Amino acid sequence: MLELYTGVEWSQAGKAAFHVMRPKKVATVVGSILRKVRTEKRLTMQQVADLCGMKMLAVYRLETSPKANPQLATLQKLAGALGVTVAELVKDVPVIPPQDTAAVN
């Protein structure tokens, strides 16, 4: 599992302390990017939903809910409908690669 972080602080002992990004913040970041891309493409939530085979309410929740937790398959559908990559939808979500998770513990 990947851990998300917002930054690094150095303690007085010289050890890095990572600020773990909570799921609410991750959902907010992804939702903001989704809305930005959608509006840049001049698409409504309903149009995106139709292109993805989703309900409009699902797109609305992904854009606005701090509890949204989109699955990879959902992000792939959205990316395809918007003509972008999944990486573009999650580009502002910082991630600690798996080999670095020991640094957090």
Parse the chain into domains and list their residue ranges. 22-96
φ and ψ at residue 95, rounded to 5 degrees: -130, 140
- Model pLDDT, residue 6: 42
Q: What is the pLDDT of residues 52-105, one digit of tens each?
A: 999 999 999 999 988 888 888 999 999 999 999 998 888 877 665 555 555 555
CA distance 11 to 25: 24
- Model pLDDT, residue 2: 37
8 Å CB contact between 95 and 2? yes
Structure tokens belonging to residue 26: 């991750």
8 Å CB contact between 10 and 17? yes
Could you please state the CATH topology (level 3) that the domain comprising 22-96 is classified under: 434 Repressor (Amino-terminal Domain) (1.10.260)
pTM of the model: 0.66
Higher pLDDT pick, 73 / 1: 73
Q: Is the pLDDT of residue 15 over 90?
A: no
